[in-house]
């Protein structure tokens, strides 16, 4: 087994390598003067089981191209099997046609990755479960819920906690976490007038006097999240925190979070946190490197991955 790191998330790659007590494979991944990607693998790959770690986060197109070129280099190096480890799978929100003459970009990216040479995919909390079906190769979609559960049990009183789904689409994810920590469940009903703008309309469930924990897969501009926190406080919530897998945090997200009713926002290192993210006092980074590393070990050993979530 060999680990290869793309340039998108060196932090999580180091955590994975440390957990597995392995060294990263020596590879040169750089840009020419005109920004073309150049990749050279400096070790023998013939017959090896390769795990290529690359989050397709901002700048998404650059990181996807880097992933594709590295996959091609590994395929041409006669690797036995190449697993693309995507802690964050970009374009996942474009998983359907929202209107006429629009693409299904998540399917397109899945096809490109497969064509480039990936034999299987290991990823974390896909925005929509059906994206697994966009790939014609095996996909392991890990869940951050066990990591969140352990952290919540350590830092919160579960008997006075309610897990909040920020919309109807996230109920399955929120219910799963609520079951794990033996907490109640509430749902925020919102109306989205246009892309990127949300309006909280109603809260389904009892939140008064409770410690509320919002659970979701992605926080981008943080508008929905901050509106939800304000609505929960208005309904009498004792405190509002959030556990969200992928911290995209674009635009004015950091400013909104810092000035919001959120006591704490916990995001994982599936996307490498910038210096500005780490400076925000109410944002905390939780590592999922041990979870991904254990899944990598099990894939390499041909043992069960699903039992990690039992």
195: pLDDT strictly greater than 70: no
Residue 122 sits in the same domain as residue 182: no
Same-domain check for residues 36 and 90: yes
**Domain count of the chain?**
2
pLDDT at position 201 is 67
3-state class of 198 per DSSP?
Answer: strand
- Enter the pTM of the model: 0.92
Determine the pLDDT at residue 190.
Answer: 75
Q: Does one domain contain both 164 and 262?
A: yes
Do 149 and 261 lie in a common domain? Answer: yes
Task: Tell me: do 125 and 257 sit in the same domain.
Answer: no
The dihedral over CA atoms of 81, 82, 85, 86, expressed in degrees to the nearest 10, equals: -140
pLDDT tens-digit map of 90-123: 999 999 998 999 999 999 999 999 999 999 999 9
Residues 132 and 184 in one domain: no
pLDDT at 66: 97
CATH number at residue 300: 3.40.50.2020
3-state SS track over 15-69: HHHHHHCCCECCEEEEECCCCCEEEEECCCCCCCEEEEECCCCCCHHHHHHHHHH
Reported as a single tens digit per residue, the pLDDT across 30-65 is 999 999 999 999 999 999 999 999 999 999 999 999
Do 254 and 298 fall into the same domain?
A: no
**pLDDT band for position 196 (cuts 50, 70, 90):** low
* Same domain as 283, residue 294: no
Residue-range definition of the domain harbouring residue 52: 2-142+290-309
CA distance 126 to 294: 18
Question: Are 160 and 135 part of one and the same domain?
Answer: no
What digits encode the pLDDT tens for the residues 266-280? 999 999 999 999 999
Mean pLDDT for 69-98 is: 95
Q: Tell whether 116 and 161 lie within a shared domain.
A: no
Same domain, 215 and 282: yes
pLDDT of 198 reads 54
Q: Residue 197: pLDDT above 70? A: no
Question: Quick check: 192 pLDDT over 70?
Answer: no
Token output for 25: 């494979």
Q: What is the model's pLDDT at position 170?
A: 87
The verdict on 22 and 98 lying in the same domain is yes
In the predicted model, what is the mean pLDDT of the chain? 92
190 is catalytic: yes
Taking 90 as the threshold, does the pLDDT of residue 84 lie above it?
yes
Catalytic position from the list 97, 190, 194, 235: 190
């Amino acid at each position: 087994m060999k680990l290869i790191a793309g340039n998108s998330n060196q932090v999580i790659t180091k955590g994975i390598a440390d957990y597995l007590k392995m060294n990263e494979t020596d590879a040169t991944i750089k840009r020419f003067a005109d920004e073309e990607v150049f990749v050279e693998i400096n070790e023998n790959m013939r017959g090896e089981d390769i795990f290529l770690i690359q989050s397709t986060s901002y700048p998404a197109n650059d990181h996807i191209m880097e992933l594709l070129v590295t996959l091609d280099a590994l395929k041409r190096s006669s690797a036995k099997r190449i697993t693309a480890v995507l802690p964050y799978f970009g374009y996942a929100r474009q998983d359907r046609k929202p209107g006429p003459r629009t693409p299904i970009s998540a399917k397109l990216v899945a096809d490109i990755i497969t064509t480039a040479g990936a034999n299987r995919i290991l990823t974390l909390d896909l925005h929509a479960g059906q994206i697994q079906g966009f790939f014609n190769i095996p996909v392991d979609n890990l869940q951050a819920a066990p990591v969140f559960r352990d952290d919540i049990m350590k830092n919160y009183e579960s008997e006075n906690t309610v897990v909040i789904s920020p919309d109807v689409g996230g109920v399955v994810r929120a219910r799963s976490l609520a079951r794990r920590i033996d907490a109640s469940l509430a749902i925020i009903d919102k109306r989205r007038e246009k892309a990127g703008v949300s309006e909280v309309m109603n809260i389904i469930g009892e939140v008064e006097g409770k410690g509320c924990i919002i659970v979701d897969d992605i926080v981008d501009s943080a508008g929905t999240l901050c509106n939800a926190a304000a609505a929960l406080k208005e309904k009498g919530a004792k405190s509002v925190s959030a556990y969200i897998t992928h911290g995209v945090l674009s635009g004015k997200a950091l400013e909104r979070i810092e000035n919001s009713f959120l006591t704490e926002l916990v995001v994982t290192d599936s996307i490498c946190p910038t210096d500005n993210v780490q400076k925000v006092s109410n944002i905390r980074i939780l590592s999922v490197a041990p979870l991904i590393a254990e899944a990598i070990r099990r894939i390499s050993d041909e043992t069960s991955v699903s039992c990690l979530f039992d």
